[in-house]
Chain A
Amino acid sequence: MSHDGITVNGLVREFKGGIRAVDGIELQVQPGEIYGFLGPNGAGKSTTVHVLTTLLPPTAGSATVAGFDVATQGPEVRRRIGAALQEAALDNFLTGREHFELQGGLHGLSKADRAARAVELLERVGLTDAADRKVGGYSGGMKRRLDLALALVHRPSILFLDEPTTGLDPQSRSALWGEVARLAKDDGVTVFLTTQYLEEADVLADRVGIIDHGRIVAEGSPQALKEQIGRSSVEAIPSNPDDRAAIEAVLSQFGEPAAASPKGVAVRLAGGSESLGQVVRALDGEGLQIAHLQLHAPSLDDVFLAKTGRSLEGEDEGDESRPPREEAA
């Protein structure tokens, strides 16, 4: 599939009262890439998606999607994108198949094409059996899957997914991840995915942009970002609590102290994860009994912590489920 990706230059979106939800974002998403936009609630993720999908005009800066300017070529952009926004807004009184009729019809698909796409996409997201049931009776996971399928009805080259797995059970989340990965790999669809889940960004995204207070604070592949932060840490929990000091002395030979659980001792390994074997041999050499030994690889949360001084996990700064109403300053 041939198309341009997404290019964003100095994008700003202000709301009434001077609230700057998006504050000078720069980013580039290559065609066929899955770009994870990671950040806590209120960071500016959804507002960015609303601007890139033409639902909100930018206050300043520019952005092109599929080669078209979001501010001046809205209809051209909309023809080429699919979007599953955070609300999974569906009509509870229509069936799944009727949603395809509606959405396909509005995208100008012929009746035969609409019917064929409905069959194909409902099958793909595992909703064939529920196709003729009213959506009001669907579970949250079914609604999310239908929402994703509807975003694909007109064969978009770029897909925006705004927190697509929020509130889903692990099984539904995993199924949705599989489908998103397949879309990028097999169909060459560019995916711009916002999430507040570290694991989701880590598993799905080719590259991740970490956003906080409307600004991108880090960007790169998940692996590269974690490598920027540094080395793995090892944590040992002694079998005998009296051995704690001895274990601390042994571990200190391998790196500086790191955060550990209340019963454990941890160090950040100066030699990286490769030195784990030496750690085990040293502990064994001193005759120390270890109840639990764990290697912690750096996570995207460590990246967030390093860049912002705060942890992403458990972060809740307010609901960004919907950007404020169009009230540009």
Chain B
Amino acid sequence: MDVETLREIGIIANRSVRRTLRQPALIVPTIVFPLLLLAINASGLDVTKNIPNFPADSYLDFALVVTFMQGGLFAATTAGTELATDIETGFLNRLQLTPLRAPAILVGQLAGAMCVAFLASLVYLAVGLLAGAHIAAGVGGAALLVVLAMLVALAFGGLGSIIGARTGSAEAVQGMFPLLFVFFFLSSMNLPRNLIEADWFRTIASWNPISYLVEGLRSLVITGWDGTALWRCLVTAIAISVLGFLGASSSLRTRMART
């Protein structure tokens, strides 16, 4: 990647971050909704910690990382929606009429989503700690948690961008949200895989890449430095990011028919 492309990415990222931060309607639900779910689950399901072999001392510790995952999902929706909006309004044509390279548009747009994920992660972490959560991996683990959350946002952001670029419709991107949410619930988000009794559910959760993202993040909170969980999480996040980016690039190239 040359200096010129990096400069272009910087310009688009700057715009993406600015316009994202100026839309409270994008940021507030991203922060409030996952925290609300955390509050309900942590208080209502705390008895779960009494299940034999449950890996955490409190359900709050166990469920804290779900907020990071949901934050990443919101960020993905943001990335896809913003790209689709640029197509709908014709802003993409404005960008196409400059020497801007197509990958810079995508990377720049994703920077906005990662910015939201970063801010939201800091809030989730702060609220979790204030509510009594304990990060087993310490300060370094908390920092890695934020970094991994941004990587998760990047991974989902790529998926959102594929739909945004392909359909050019913000509504279509938002329609993706419930579908991804189903994948969340079919993972080890609410219960460790070894404690899921229904075979079909446990099988799906074991094949579901979201389980490995959740378990990697969760390991930093409840276990400490678990190399296997972190490695799986990292590989899964990078794989989804690469696939998402390649898919979104291809869709954007089709969309940008300029000569």
Known: A54-B259, A326-B254. A94 touches B97 (CB 8 A): no
B96 contacts the other chain (CB 8 A): yes
Known: A93-B19, A98-B18. A103 touches B94 (CB 8 A): yes
Contact of A55 among B11, B23, B96, B168 (CB under 8 A): B96
A132 contacts the other chain (CB 8 A): no
Complex interface: chain A residues within 8 A of B97 (CB): 53-55, 78, 81, 83
Known: A78-B99, A94-B19, A322-B90. A106 touches B254 (CB 8 A): no
Cross-chain contact A326 with B98 (CB below 8 angstroms): no
Cross-chain contact A72 with B259 (CB below 8 angstroms): yes
Contact of A71 among B19, B100, B259 (CB under 8 A): B259
* Count of residues in A whose CB is under 8 Å from the partner chain: 36
Cross-chain contact A106 with B259 (CB below 8 angstroms): no
Contact of B8 among A57, A75, A106, A325 (CB under 8 A): A106
Chain A residues 56 to 101 lying within 8 A of chain B, measured CB to CB, are 56-57, 70-75, 77-79, 81, 83, 85-87, 89-91, 93-94, 98
**A interface, by DSSP: helix, strand, loop or mixed?**
loop
Complex interface: chain B residues within 8 A of A71 (CB): 259
With most chain A CB atoms within 10 A of its CB, the pick from B18, B93, B97, B99 is B97
Complex interface: chain A residues within 8 A of B23 (CB): 93
Q: Mark B77-102, 1 if CB is under 8 A from A, else 0.
A: 00000000000011111111111100
Q: Mark A266-294, 1 if CB is under 8 A from B, else 0.
A: 00000000000000000000000000000
Q: Interface residues of B toward A: which range?
A: 20 to 34
Known: A87-B90, A106-B99, A107-B98. A74 touches B258 (CB 8 A): yes
B28 contacts the other chain (CB 8 A): no
Known: A75-B99, A98-B18, A107-B98. A89 touches B90 (CB 8 A): yes
* Alpha-carbon distance A233/B8, docked complex (angstroms): 60
* Alpha-carbon distance A70/B258, docked complex (angstroms): 9
Chain B residue, CB-CB nearest to A105: B11
Known: A94-B19, A103-B94. A108 touches B99 (CB 8 A): yes
Contact of B93 among A77, A85, A91, A103 (CB under 8 A): A85
A102 contacts the other chain (CB 8 A): yes
Complex interface: chain B residues within 8 A of A72 (CB): 259
Known: A93-B19, A102-B11. A54 touches B258 (CB 8 A): yes
Complex interface: chain B residues within 8 A of A93 (CB): 18-19, 22-23
Complex interface: chain B residues within 8 A of A86 (CB): 90
Cross-chain contact A90 with B91 (CB below 8 angstroms): yes
* Alpha-carbon distance A276/B98, docked complex (angstroms): 55
B257 contacts the other chain (CB 8 A): yes
Complex interface: chain A residues within 8 A of B94 (CB): 85, 89-90, 103, 150
* Alpha-carbon distance A85/B91, docked complex (angstroms): 10
Complex interface: chain A residues within 8 A of B14 (CB): 102
Chain B residues 132 to 190 lying within 8 A of chain A, measured CB to CB, are 168
Cross-chain contact B259 with A91 (CB below 8 angstroms): no
Chain A residue, CB-CB nearest to B257: A326
Known: A78-B99, A83-B97, A103-B98. A91 touches B15 (CB 8 A): yes
Cross-chain contact B258 with A85 (CB below 8 angstroms): no
Complex interface: chain B residues within 8 A of A107 (CB): 98-99
Q: Mark B28-53, 1 if CB is under 8 A from A, else 0.
A: 00000000000000000000000000
Contact of B91 among A74, A81, A89, A325 (CB under 8 A): A89
Cross-chain contact B259 with A102 (CB below 8 angstroms): no
* Alpha-carbon distance A81/B259, docked complex (angstroms): 14
Complex interface: chain A residues within 8 A of B15 (CB): 91, 94, 98, 102
* Alpha-carbon distance A123/B8, docked complex (angstroms): 27
**B9 smallest CB distance to A (angstroms):** 11
* Alpha-carbon distance A322/B87, docked complex (angstroms): 11
Cross-chain contact A91 with B8 (CB below 8 angstroms): no
Cross-chain contact B255 with A326 (CB below 8 angstroms): yes
Chain A residue, CB-CB nearest to B94: A89
**B28 smallest CB distance to A (angstroms):** 15
Other 16 A-B pairs with CB < 8 A, given A98-B18, A106-B95: A54-B259, A55-B93, A55-B96, A74-B258, A74-B259, A89-B89, A89-B90, A89-B92, A93-B19, A93-B22, A93-B23, A98-B15, A103-B98, A134-B22, A326-B255, A326-B257
Interchain residue pairs with CB less than 8 A apart (13): A53-B97, A74-B259, A78-B98, A83-B97, A86-B90, A87-B89, A87-B93, A89-B92, A90-B91, A93-B22, A106-B99, A107-B98, A326-B257
> What 4 A-B pairs have minimum CB-CB distances, sorted nearest first?
A326-B257, A87-B90, A89-B90, A74-B259
Q: What residues of chain B have their CB less than 8 Å away from a CB belonging to chain A? A: 7-8, 11, 14-15, 18-19, 22-23, 89-100, 168, 254-255, 257-259
